[in-house]
Amino acid sequence: MQRKGFKAHLPVKTCLVCGQPFQWRKKWLRSWDEVKYCSARCRSQAKGGQK
């Protein structure tokens, strides 16, 4: 029997900047297909921010 909220079955992607795997988050419910980066830091580095 699975508990509600069990996180082992959530989809995983790999960040394009740091290469680390990251899991689905509720805030990405409607935009999971467009998510490319694991954090705001990686997103800013990808757009030519601080290195």
* Banded pLDDT at 26 (limits 50, 70, 90): very high
Averaged pLDDT for residues 14-32: 95
| Whole-structure pTM value | 0.73
For residue 2, being part of any structural domain is answered with no
Residue 5 has pLDDT above 90, yes or no: no
For residue 37, being part of any structural domain is answered with yes
For residue 7, being part of any structural domain is answered with no
**Domains contained in the chain, number:** 1
Residues in the chain, overall count: 51
State how far the Cα of 21 lies from the Cα of 14, in Å rounded to an integer.
4
- List the domain range (segments joined by +) for residue 34: 12-46
Question: Among the listed ranges 6-10, 12-16, 41-45, which one has the minimum average pLDDT value?
Answer: 6-10
Helices (H) and strands (E) in the chain, counts: 1, 2
For residue 25, being part of any structural domain is answered with yes
For residue 18, being part of any structural domain is answered with yes
From residue 50, alpha-carbon distances to 16, 22, 40, 41 in Å are 16, 22, 12, 9
